[in-house]
Every structure is written in C-alpha cells, then in structure tokens.
Structure 1
C-alpha cells in the first residue's frame, strides 16, 4: 500500500498519542514482531555509535519482545525509570518521506519531548527515522532509529521520552 504524506503524519501522531495516553497495548501494535529499536549514544568523537551489538546504546531492542518486556515493567512498577511517574508530551515536526517503495516507506522527523518528574521540567529533542512496512493490512514499524541530540541528562531515559 502506498501512503500519502497525510497518512504518514497521522500514523506518527497516533503512535505518539497511544504512548502519551499510556495505552501500551495499542502502542505496541504499531510495531512489527521483528522491529529493531535503536537509540545510539555519542562516542568520544561526537558521532553517534552505529553498531548496537558492539557499541554502547542508550536504548536497544532487537525485536518487539524487548519492547513488550519494557511495557510489562512500566505497567507493573518494576521500572526505576518510571517511579515516580513521569508526565510527558512529545511534539513531532518536519515530517519527511525519504523513500517509498511498493512494500515500505522510510520517514524522518524531528521531535521534542517535555517531561515533568521530581518537580523538574526537562526537554529532550532529536530526530527519528522509521522504516515502515506497508505490505500488510496496516502499516508496521520495522526499524526505529532515534537520535537524541541533548544526551547529557540527569534522569534515566525511557521509551516514552523519545
């Protein structure tokens, strides 16, 4: 299926809203079973790391099972990153379609997340690239690459902050 620019935006906004509303089961439905979710760290040369298997990453899940485990820990209070609870809101801008084929589409966008925790407001910002599988009944994220631009942070990061 070919997606219009408006359909891509709607997809991205719906994923972000499901997450913001803590509808975790709905949020997970945006991801393919074999999704790769990667947020690299920055190396000593001020370049993002590229290989999550041999270099340090801020977040890395090789498939949706890792995301499902993360959601389980969030929902069952087994996550120090979510206790106390964090209020947050993510804005998405500058959505671009980089490439579109018969069965996939690659998109890039900027994002900003405002969080409130420990009586403190923080701002995180970066850019994301998604490879979205469009071959089935509904689009599914096959690859999510998140580059956090302000990586000097004083709290633990979690999937909902990026």
Structure 2
C-alpha cells in the first residue's frame, strides 16, 4: 500500500485529536504492538542523546505495552506523575512531510506546538516529531515515534499528552 500526504495528514490529525480528547484507547490503537516511543533529552552540551538504552531520555517505551501501562496509570490515578486534573490540551501540527516511503513503511517528519492549560496557567511545548509508519495493512500503524522536545526548561513532569 502506498500512502499520500493527505492520508498522512489525516492520520496525524486524528492522533492529535485523540490526545486532546483523552480518547486513550483509540490513541493506543494507532500504535503497533512493537512500537517504540522515545523522547530523547538534551545533554550538557546542547546535543540530543542518541541511545535510549544507555543515555538519559525524557521518556522511553520500547513497545506499546509501556504506553498501555502509562494510559492505565492516567486513567486510574495510580501515578505520581499524573496531573490532576488532567490539563486541557491543543495539539497543532505543521510542516508535515513524507521523508521516505516504500510499499511497507513511511517515514514522516513534522513540527508541532501543544498548549496545555491547568490551574489558570498555559504551558507551551514545541518540537519536531519523527514517525515510522507501517502502511502494509488496511490502516497505518505507528512503528516508531521520536519526539524532540525543544523547550529548554520544563516547569513540571512532561507526560504523553503534552507531546
């Protein structure tokens, strides 16, 4: 199956909507079982860490099961990192491009801004995301998601709904 930029846009906008609407089960369905989710951190010299296995990351899940656990904790308030009440978010995507494609997979890059409102404060997060989509089935699935958070200073714990 090949994929068009319009189909990629629709897919990414759908994921953003699921995050904003807190439709966690639908959001998780967008990920392949073996999908990785990685948010590298910036080192002391201003460079991104390169290996989630040996260097510090802001977040790293080696498979969808890690994301499922995170969603379980969000839904059941069983995590000290969970924000209560959960913030209202608005994910905004731009500069979406297909950087590589084959019949089986598609690599996508885009910029994003997310606004999160909680306790009378608006927090802004921004960055660039890199996805590898499995497009071999009826519906695309995220195989790998790398989120480069470009904020230099974060005032509190960052969670999946911030990115």
TM over 0.5: yes
Q: Distance in 1 between matches of 2:129 and 2:61?
A: 15
TM-score, normalisation: structure 1 = 0.97
Separation of aligned partners in 1, 2:153 and 2:75 = 27
Deviation (angstroms), 1:82: 1.9
Count residues in correspondence: 162
| TM-score normalized with structure 2 length | 0.97
1:40 alignment partner in structure 2: 40
In the TM superposition, residue 117 of structure 1 has moved relative to its aligned partner by 1.6
Is the Cα contact below 8 Å between 1:107 and 1:129 reproduced in 2?
A: yes
CA contact (8 A) 1:33 1:64 kept: yes
Q: Could you list the runs of 5+ residues in structure 2 that have no partner in the other structure?
A: none
Do the aligned residues in 1 keep the contact of 2:73 with 2:82 (CA within 8 Å)? no
Superposition pairs of residues 13-28 of structure 1, within 5 angstroms:
13-28=13-28
Take 1:36 and 1:151, find their aligned partners in 2: how far apart are those partners? 24
Match of 2:118 in 1: 117
Q: CA deviation at 1:38?
A: 0.3
Alignment correspondent of 1:153: 154
Does the 8 Å CA contact 2:32/2:64 hold for their aligned counterparts? yes
Correspondences of 1:84-123 after superposition (within 5 Å) = 84-123=85-124
**Displacement after TM superposition at 1:34 (Å):** 0.3
**Distance in structure 2 (CA, Å) of the matches to 1:74 and 1:107:** 28
How far, CA to CA, are the matches of 2:102 and 2:49 in structure 1?
28
Q: Is the 8 A contact 2:134 2:141 kept in 1?
A: yes
Gaps of 5+ in 1: none
SS in 1 for 2:82: helix
- CA distance in structure 2 between the partners assigned to 1:91 and 1:136 by the alignment: 27
Contact 1:81 1:157 survives alignment (8 Å) = no
CA distance in 1, matches of 2:51, 2:31: 21
Q: CA deviation at 1:102?
A: 1.1
For the 8 Å contact 1:88–1:114, the answer to whether it is kept is yes
